[in-house]
Amino acid sequence: MDSSRSLNGGSLPFSSQRLLALAQQLSHYKPPPCSLDDGDEQERIIEETVGKVVSQVGVQESVTPISQNPEKFKPKRAAVLICLFEVDAGDLRVILTKRSSRLTTHSGEVSLPGGKAEEGDKDDIETATREAKEEIGLDPSLVNIVTVLEPFLSKHLLRVVPVIGILTDKKAFKPTPNAAEVDEVFDAPLEMFIKDENRTEEEREWMGEKYLLHFFEYETEKEKKKYTIWGLTAGVLIRAASLVYQQPPAFLEQNPKFKFPKIVGRNTVMR
């Protein structure tokens, strides 16, 4: 990969050799095939692949209805932006948000910038960067997109695609949170998501399979604000940190290994 090019056509050069090396490393990452969009093979993919998608994430909650009417599994798409930048000490940090307390779902929770795909989005990269601009005012031209990870499946069966980008000039980004969606914008060290420090876990059960739900506690240095990062967001960041630092987390992930049902109906629930 050229030092001034990225997957989304960004033209900003990387500000350090480390960021350039990281971009080159991540650009070679090939997520496992898990497309749910090949019409003729829909049922086979559901049977063979969706279980893998689920097993990639520390699933959030354990009880939620799947569908009121039987239908084939066709999840809605969403994308989140894992926007990384380098601080003077050389550490990598990731931009996070605290969702608005006025939202009806997941209010006040920590999440990555992102949201559901819209009809005009050409791909997951555009979804993630568009949503980041709408939520926190992050101009897509400031971010070099370097790779796209395999999809995750949320508890509400939303297919979430993580997009990794590098912000080469942190000073150029002036957060402007959309008050309707975001209360706060902050950042945290990426490496914390593969360490066992400041982490707790709870054992949950989903469709008969036990798994661990991870909670990471983080306190900002200056403001001393405390945040809890958990569920889908924690699962995505564990995966991203493992890929960036090329090592597994220092704790047991214990993800569910079940296969998702081919047909979901009113009696299908997550236990």
- Write the pLDDT tens digit of every residue in 157-195: 688 999 999 998 999 999 999 999 999 999 999 999 999
Which amino acid is residue 131, in one-letter code? Answer: E
What is the pLDDT at residue 255?
75
Cα distances from 112 to residues 83, 178, 208, 239, in angstroms, run 9, 14, 29, 14
User: For the domain bounded by 77-245, which CATH number is listed?
Assistant: 3.90.79.10
pLDDT at 69: 39
Residue extents of the structural domains in the chain: 77-245
**What average pLDDT does the segment 202-217 reach?**
85
Structure confidence at residue 32 as a pLDDT band (50, 70, 90): confident
**Is the backbone of residue 255 left (phi > 0), alpha (psi -120 to 50) or beta?**
beta
- Are 135 and 83 a contacting pair, CB within 8 Å? no
